[in-house]
Structure 1
Amino acid sequence: MKKLIILMMGLAIVIAITACGNKDSKSSESTTTPAASTDAAAGQQIVLKATNYKYDQSEYHVKKGQPVTITLDNSQGIHGAAIKEFNINLSNGKKSVTFTPDKAGSFPINCSIMCGAGHADMKTTLIVE
């Protein structure tokens, strides 16, 4: 029984350590498209590009009362994105969500999947103006 528990703990540690370090994931390409944009037909669009222990920007700006679609792009490793104040959690296959922010302020976005040693530092901010 003890051997099984030790084996399971070792497997869990290996998975946690390697989740963010997936070297086979697609490489990210820089584009001229802004991370947050407004299109009259589609509303506001944000693409959160997640790499090992960071998002591509320190903050994303949107307008209060206007629909916004947030899409998670894992360009390196396995990550999620959670915005507690708006009950949003992009993980486990859910890559996109559309909502209308009803309050202004700064709201933290945190990685919602334990992705390794730098997980606690994987943060960005949604600023609703």
Structure 2
Amino acid sequence: MMKKSLFVLGLALCLMFVLSACGGDSKSGEPAVAPTGVTKEVTITAKNFEFSPAEIKVKKGDTVKLTFNSEEGVHGLMIKDFDINMDESGTKEFVADKVGTFDFNCSIMCGGGHGQMVGKITVE
């Protein structure tokens, strides 16, 4: 009976250890964020010298399907905090895995108004 109790206790401890190791992000120490199943489709259009929309809001864990269109001039789109860099029109996806407000910018020197081409993505 004693051996069976020790075996069950040992098994329970092993299971606790395995479960506590799952779901963490070893880089930041924060829990990993899995996509919530919600996909937000966002289209950003670049013109001289602005983005439309200039502000985007999503929830933490959302998958963001981002479509970028450069309609006037030559522009790119960079969201450093989510490792997005698009030098031409197209679509990319990322998971909004951190809370805060993050800038996006034009990634191609496009003229005198280049420095003012800034937008914000807010993750709640």
Is the TM-score greater than 0.5?
yes
The aligned length equals 89
1:77 is aligned to: 73
Identity %: 39
- Which of 84, 108, 112 in structure 1 is aligned with 2:103? 108
If asked which structure has higher relative contact order (CA below 8 Å, sep 6+), I would say: 1
Give the TM-score of the pair, scaled to structure 2: 0.66
The 4+ residue runs of structure 1 with deviation greater than 4 A are none
Alignment root-mean-square deviation, CA = 1.9
Give the TM-score of the pair, scaled to structure 1: 0.64
1:17 is aligned to: none
Residue identity in the other structure for 2:93: T
Secondary structure class of the residue paired with 2:81: helix
Which has the larger Rg?
A: 2
1:96 is aligned to: 91
- What are structure 2's unaligned runs of at least 5 residues? 1-36
Say whether residues 1:124 and 2:116 are aligned partners: no
Residue identity in the other structure for 2:85: N
Secondary structure class of the residue paired with 1:120: helix
